[in-house]
Amino acid sequence: MARKKSPRMVFRPQEPGLEKMLGALESQVMQVMWDADGARTVQEVRDELAARGKDAAYTTIMTTLGRLHAKGLLRRETRGKAYHYVPQVSRRELTDNMARQVVSGLVGSLAEPAIAYFVEALEKEAPEKLDTLAELLERKRAERKES
């Protein structure tokens, strides 16, 4: 059986947090799912979003959960007449995957400018991370020499 190709996620650098790769509602739904203790139904997700100040129609939440399932972020189980959704990936796995996709996309044709800008951005936004970057580079160089 052929492996299902996951839908492409669009990178929006100007957006906060997970919204860089997911829509605003998708991000909020994923937060609810990660905070949940076990599987959630559409209605349970809708109720939790309402408690957090986000009112949305049942069908909107159902569509959003379906899209997150199609993207491979949620697992869907049938229990009785209702679908129950469970996170397929952790917060950390998703953010790691997002970073990997963005960097891979930049390295191909824009490696030099991407690296230069990345170092500039670190210097401006988080100068203490430059030392972390230097340590990672040294570790990779040492690994390359060993192999």
Q: What are the pLDDT digits (tens) for 92-104?
A: 999 888 888 888 8
pTM score, whole prediction: 0.73
Residues 64-118: tens digit of each pLDDT: 999 999 999 999 999 999 999 999 999 999 988 888 888 887 787 778 888 888 8
What is the three-class DSSP state of 74?
strand
Higher model confidence: residue 25 or residue 6? 25
CA distance 137 to 119: 13
DSSP 12: -
- Give 49-58 contacts, CB < 8 A, sequence gap 24+: 52/28, 54/25, 54/28, 56/25
Query: What is the number of residues in the chain?
Result: 147
Helix ranges (DSSP H) in 52-128: 58-70, 91-125
